[in-house]
Structures are given as C-alpha cells and as structure tokens.
Structure 1
Amino acid sequence: MAAVFKSHGPQVSIEIGEYEPFPTNDEHKTPPRFKHVHVVLLAFGILCVLQAVLNITLRLAHSEAVEKGETGDIGVGETGDIGVGETGDISICPQGWLLFGSSCYYVSSQRKSWDSSRRDCLQRHADLVIINSRQEQAFLTGFTKAAWIGMSDRVQEGNWIWVDGTPVNKDKLEWSPGQPDGAFGGEDCGDLRTMINFLGLNDFNCSARSQWICEKELLL
C-alpha cells in the first residue's frame, strides 16, 4: 500500500510505496549443517587420493628394487633385516634377505627350473622355503606372481614332501583352486601363486622357469 503526503506551500507531492527490501546474501547461504557435510566429504576425498598415491608409490618402489637387484634384492637395507631372538640376542639376515619369525627369506628376481632354483638356495647356505603355517604363507604371498617353494611329489605321485623330508600338511595351508591337479602330463614340483582367482600353493612342471624363495635360519 502506498501513502501520499502533500504540503500547503508549493505543490509538492511525495508518494511512498510499499517497501521491498533487497534480498540479502543470507537467503542464498548454505545451511550450516550442509556446510559440515561438504567439509567432511572433501576431507574424505582428499584422504582417499592420498592413500591411493601412497599405495602406488610403495608398489613402484618395490618393483624398482626387484628390477635393480639381479641377485634378488627386494628393498631391504644394506645390512639386511634385524630381529631379536627368544634369548634377547640380536639376529640379522644377510643383505637382500627378509625377516619373518625365526627365518630369513630370499626372493629371487631371476627365473630357473625347480632343481636349479634349489641349487641356488643351497649355494646360499639355505634351501627352498618350507611353509609351516598360513601366517608364513601370507607373509610370502605377493612378492611375485609365481615362485618355487621346497615341496614336490616326485617320489610318490600325490604324496607331497618338503625338502627336509617332512610331509606337506595340505589342510594346514592354502592351495589354489583345484590344486594340486597333476595337469599337462605331470606336475611334480610346488610353487606359490599370487594371481587373480588363482592364489595359493600350486603344482607345476619342474622344468618350467620361475622365480624362487630360499629360507635359512637367523644368524646370531
């Protein structure tokens, strides 16, 4: 509604209309609760990106270490991994070896047959790895797509034996799906696989060329 004011002097008329204030910025502001949601989502997105970058960096560093170490170094320090024994003594793995439990492990970067791989381990005063638990198997999984380990059924088909003469407890370890299957006319040597839909122990042709894993007890 408008109002009109008139003066008694010269004809002056003033008309005042309805007041419509200009919209303030407050009307377009995001409610506080949505601001908090936006901040949380942004922070979560940044964390996801950082985690992805970290994972890629670690994987690239590991790959470069394997490629550079023709002797099989996989990124340990120059003096190897250090551990403390049950008696409190300091134990150290050789250069290029990894520590887990009471053993040192060497993961090769080269590829050889099962017998040649074992000879390499013996020359290093070790032997192809004997896996005693699923925890040890989990530790060794992922360094390579396939690596020879110290088991075979050459003496008797289907009777898997470790290199120290002890039987392989099939129920104690994780086998790849459908393995061992003795395919391709005979697969008498064992390896450890890390592949999509094919993860675990596997039997393979002993003459095939593959990487390998050696194991030795800690040096005191």
Structure 2
Amino acid sequence: MAVFFHSNEAPIGEYQNFPKPELENAATEKNPKPKLKHLSVVLLSFGLLCVLQGILNISLRLALSQPTDKGETEEETCPQGWLMFGSSCYYISSQRRSWDGSRQDCVQRDADLVIINSRQEQAFLTGFTMAAWVGMSDREEEGTWIWVDGTPVNRDRLNWARGQPDDSLGGEDCGDLRTMIDFIGLNDYNCSARAQWICEQTLR
C-alpha cells in the first residue's frame, strides 16, 4: 500500500510566490488616486464653465434691457401687416377710396398718408400697387405741392412719372404713386377718384 505525504514545502527546483499583502494594498491604493484626481479636475472645470456661462447670460440680458439713448426699453416694431423701412412703418391698403377718404383711414390708424422724403424711400414703396394715394396736394395753390404735414414737396429729390404733374383737365390736385408700364413715379390725379393708398406711421 502506497502512502503519500503532503508537504507544505515547494518541490525542489520550483519557486513558490507568496502574496505580499503590504505591496498589493499599496498598488491598489495608488492606482485609483490619479483617476480620481483627473475626474475631479474635469468636474471642477465643467462647473466653472457653467458658472461663467451663467454670468455671461445674466450680463447680456441686463445689457439688452438697458434703455438706449432715446429712452427706449425694447426694440420698436411695426404693427402687424405693416412694412418697415428706415424709421417708419407703411400700410398698403387693399381697398379703394378718394384721397380724403384714404387720409381719414390713415388717421384712424394713428398715421397719415405717406410723406416721401427721398428717392430711396420712393423706390421702396414703388411696385406694391399700380396706383396709390400719397400725402401731397396742390389744392391751396396750383402747382405748389405740399405734404400733409405742411412742408413743401421737393420735386428735385423725387421721381415723377413722365410729363407729370400736368393738371390734366384742370382738376388734378392730389398726388399718387404710379407703377405702370412706361409710367412710373409720382403723378397728379383727381382727388375724388378712387384708388388704393399708403399710410405712414413714424416709429416713436
């Protein structure tokens, strides 16, 4: 009968590795620390960025809410359905009325018939309709055109249709803006004729 003896000693010629608790614990403790430090730096940086972003947003809102030189607290816009050009809003009617009826409609809209101050403004308004009343007339004195605010019309600064004003048939005392083939520009027309019109409201 064979008897085997178990020995705790390693066989001759072989090496037996024994765990070294102190070294293993040191290794496991050292490895997580760099990772934790790296993660904390990232989180701290992200937190600082969030704080800076919040400060910038608040500063921007405060800057935009500050009154401008004109004492305005918000950007002014035109009423719905009106067009903006420069510092004015324009309403292009779809109905037809006499010059006086057109002006009355503009006044009810807290506006008046348009006063055209430059070729640029006239170019902007040209093309919306074939003919539209504007705020000028020579009712008080034939040939002396006056805007609705009482200022004289500077004929040299605006474009008139070919051959106009001509006071055709001796009864064309109100002004309109024409956009027709070979007939584009300001024109004098009978004040009682029915046409579309353009109201102007100045931004405050």
The two structures have a TM-score, normalised by structure 2, of 0.64
Match of 2:145 in 1: 160
Matched, 1:96 2:96: no
Where do 4+ consecutive residues of structure 1 move more than 6 Å? none
Structure 2 unaligned residues grouped into runs of 5+: 1-67
Matched, 1:134 2:119: yes
Matched, 1:176 2:148: no
Query: Aligned partner of 2:130: which letter?
Result: K
Query: Aligned partner of 2:125: which letter?
Result: L
When residues 159 and 96 of structure 1 are mapped into structure 2, their CA distance, relative to the original with a 3 A threshold, is: same
Q: Percent identity?
A: 74
* Alignment partners' CA distance in 2, 1:86 and 1:215: 24
Matched, 1:196 2:181: yes
Q: Which has the higher contact order (CA 8 A, sep 6+)?
A: 2
Match of 2:171 in 1: 186
- 1:86 CA drift (Å): 7.6
* Alignment partners' CA distance in 1, 2:170 and 2:143: 14
* Map 1:209-220 → 2, pairs under 5 A: 209-219=194-204
When residues 86 and 112 of structure 1 are mapped into structure 2, their CA distance, relative to the original with a 3 A threshold, is: farther
* Alignment partners' CA distance in 2, 1:157 and 1:217: 29
Q: Secondary structure at the match of 1:90?
A: coil
Structure 1 unaligned residues grouped into runs of 5+: 1-84
* Map 1:91-130 → 2, pairs under 5 A: 91-130=76-115
* Alignment partners' CA distance in 2, 1:96 and 1:213: 13
* Alignment partners' CA distance in 1, 2:94 and 2:164: 25
Query: Aligned partner of 2:203: which letter?
Result: L
Q: Larger C-alpha radius of gyration, 1 or 2?
A: 2
Q: Secondary structure at the match of 1:184?
A: helix
Q: Could you say which structure has the higher strand fraction?
A: 1
- 1:198 CA drift (Å): 0.3
The two structures have a TM-score, normalised by structure 1, of 0.59
What RMSD in Å do the two structures reach over aligned CA positions?
1.4
Q: Secondary structure at the match of 1:130?
A: coil
